[in-house]
Structure formats: structure tokens, C-alpha cells
Structure 1
Amino acid sequence: MTSAVQTHDNDNVVWHAHQIDKAFRSQQKKQQPCVLWFTGLSGAGKSTVAGALETRLAELGFHTYLLDGDNIRHGLCKDLGFSTEDRRENIRRIGEVAKLMADAGLIVLSAFISPHRQERQLVRDMLPSGEFLEVFVDTPLEECEKRDPKGLYKKARAGQIKHFTGIDSEYEKPEAPEIHLQAGDYTVSELVDQCVAQLKHNQIIR
């Protein structure tokens, strides 16, 4: 199913500034808000690493929220299909939600294939400099197919799923991600360690 999403400018819609702002919420939570954008092939381990990182950050006392691709499709984006236009709109909506959550002072973890650089750049451009961290979960296609936790690769190879990323639809690897996880070479705990180290380096957490 393809949805027609219309956008337009409205001079009568004005942004309302509130007394309690991002700076206050950040100070209250003792953290720097940001969006960690996990990208990679289906089965790469994006949700697994993002979930483990959220658990680690929560244990350390930080305030987070995890946005997961499948979960978003059950609500916010359940009206969207998987055409190129709908997938772009899916990412745009997620970006807007992530931006609001960052404004609330949260560390937002987003786990989506988001195969195109242009879509990921769209979300980056929504946020102030330094608040968008691209996390490339770099797992070889052969390994992702071997895992195939949802049986999607098998269906794609059988022609039951069209335009499947990595099979008959291109995945554009990040050119300069803030965090590059060679997922096939490390345990989940070690990958989380790498993320935490980078967050400390970027002074997101202390």
C-alpha cells in the first residue's frame, strides 16, 4: 500500500517557545541529548546492540528512549507501505519524533535499516550539529543471511519479497559514521563498550 502524504507551508502555524527548554532538560538529566542512528542490513544486529546499549545507559543512570523499526510500523507509520516514497516518509516521521525526544533531553536510540544516505542526511539536518551520531552496524550480507531471524532473506531469495535491501535493493553504506561497529568481530557487550566510549569522547555522557 502506498500513502499519499501531503505537506504544505502554513503562515498561520507558528512555533510556540516554552519556558522549559532543551538546555534546562539536559541539565536536569545531567546528559547531552542526541540521536544515535543505528543503520545496517536486516539481521545486522541493530536492534540487539541498540537495546543492549540502552540497558547499559539506564544502568548508568541516563535517560533514553529506543525507537525500533518494527515497533514504529505498528503505530506511527502503520499507514505506510514499502515503496520508495513510503520508506522515505517513514524515515522522515521517525526523524521528527527523534528530534522531539532529543528536545526533551533524552538520548534517543533509533534502529532502522534506512538504506539511503540521503534519508539519513535528512534526519541529520533536522538536528543541531553534534546531536546526530550515525552508528553503522557493519555485518556482512552472508552473515545476515545466515542469521535471518525473521526468515526475510529466504523469502526475498524466493521472490516472495520484492525490493528487499541487500538482495534486489541497494544499501548505501555510511561514508563517515561517527561510530563504526564491525559487528561480526565482537560480542554485543564489546560493541556496547565501543558505543559508550564514543559517547564519553563526544561528551554526551560523563
Structure 2
Amino acid sequence: MRDLDHRVVGGYVVQGPAEASRNLTAIAHAVGGEERARAYGHGAGVLWLTGLSGSGKSTLAMALERQLFDRGYGVYVLDGDNVRGGLCRDLGFSAADRAENIRRVAETARLFADAGFVVISAFISPSREDRQRAREIVGPGFHEIHVKAGLEVCEARDPKGLYAKARAGEIASFTGISAPYEEPQAPDLTVDTAALSIPQGLALLTRYVEDRFGREAALGATG
């Protein structure tokens, strides 16, 4: 930095992410995942609900949260609209911003899962590449759940009026209209909300969670 007489009065070094990360050291927790599972009576992981807007992701996520909590689970929902109101409110809807949105959510979900929670993530997350990156971040506890409903069904529901705005050109890069949605090729579970009612979809999800994260599964996994 120079003053008005062009004399050097200071300077600084800009560190990018790569340089900064070299100065970080991961600290091991004093409580392990197996201990948490035994103490809480259930396993931990991330249910990643993906699907078009209007497919029923948020409705199912909140209903499942209530159901699991009532059964004694430590459970929390990360929802697209809620996250974009805080953690990701600086991001837009370009491909790069959407990818960063999913990365941040995956990192947050991983922390919740490390703490012993069952995390329910409800995001359109239209890109297979972004969802694969989320799986890599979370690790073995990641479960991709396709909340499936065709565009015609979702547009007919249009609970937030977003499809109407997208058709009118008021929303750019809207998934299903002016931006693509890449369906999961091999999801861990599909919940077809065009064929199933919300209670039926909830029952399917609850069975899935009980089979993989319930007390017997958790205690079996920890020996």
C-alpha cells in the first residue's frame, strides 16, 4: 500500500483456500460415533431428499422429522428455503452458486451426522455431480432418496406459485422449466409421490430409517 506521495506504507499477503488449509489441523473428538449410537439408541446419517419443486420433499421431510422425534430420535431437517435464508443467503442460482449451496449443505449435514443425528436434507439438488460430491463429503452414512413426481404433476400442484412465475419468465434457470433436473440413476430409495399419498410416503421413509438407523441396527453395527 502507498500513501499519497507514493511511499510504501504497508503490505499484505492474500491466501487462497489451498494456502490457508495447509495451516489447519483436524482435532479428534473425545466422543466417537459408536459411543453416540449406544447412548442415543440409534445410528446417524443423512437422508438426502432430491426431486423437483412440488414433488413433496419438504412436506415429507417435516413429517418424518416429527415422526422420528416422537420415537426418540435425534433428528433435524435442512431445507432449501431455510438454508438460503441464512447459511447460503449470499448465493444466487447460477450453476456455480447451486454447486456451492449443495457443498455447504453437505458439510453441515456431515457435522450433524457426526454429532449422532439423523439428518433429513430436502433440496432439489438437480445435478448428479453435485449429489455425488455431497455423498463423498458425508461418506458411508449418505442415503440418496428420490422424491419422484413428474413435471406435469409438480406443476399442477405448484404450492409456492413458482412454476407460474417461471412460465411467465419471472424466474430464470428454474429447474424443470428453463434448467435441467438429472434424476438419480440408482437412488437408495424412491418415494413416488405421484402414486403414494403423504402418509404412505411417510410410512415408507420411516421403515427405511428404522431398518438402517433404528436401535437394533445401531447396536448391531457397534457390536
Smaller-chain TM-score range?
A: over 0.9
Question: Does the residue aligned with 1:44 lie in a helix, a strand or coil?
Answer: coil
Amino acid at match of 2:152: E
Question: Does the residue aligned with 2:29 lie in a helix, a strand or coil?
Answer: coil
63, 67, 91: which one pairs with 1:80? 91
User: Aligned equivalents of 2:45 and 2:170: distance in 1?
Assistant: 38
Question: Does the residue aligned with 2:81 lie in a helix, a strand or coil?
Answer: helix
User: Aligned equivalents of 2:62 and 2:164: distance in 1?
Assistant: 25
2:102 — aligned with what? 91
User: Aligned equivalents of 2:201 and 2:17: distance in 1?
Assistant: 39
User: Aligned equivalents of 2:48 and 2:169: distance in 1?
Assistant: 30
1:143 — aligned with what? 153
1:79: how far off? 0.6
1:3 — aligned with what? none
Q: Is the 8 A contact 2:51 2:57 kept in 1?
A: yes
- Matched length: 199
The answer to whether 1:47 aligns with 2:58 is yes
1:184: how far off? 1.3
The answer to whether 1:176 aligns with 2:186 is yes
Question: Does the residue aligned with 1:38 lie in a helix, a strand or coil?
Answer: strand
180, 186, 200: which one pairs with 1:190? 200
1:205 — aligned with what? 214
The answer to whether 1:159 aligns with 2:174 is no
RMSD value over aligned CA atoms? 1.2
1:19: how far off? 1.0
The answer to whether 1:34 aligns with 2:73 is no
Unaligned runs of 5+ in 1: 1-5
Could you state the TM-score of these two structures normalised by the residue count of structure 1?
0.93
User: Aligned equivalents of 2:127 and 2:68: distance in 1?
Assistant: 28
1:21: how far off? 2.3
Moved more, 98-107 or 26-35: 26-35
1:44: how far off? 0.6
1:168: how far off? 1.2
User: Aligned equivalents of 2:139 and 2:177: distance in 1?
Assistant: 35
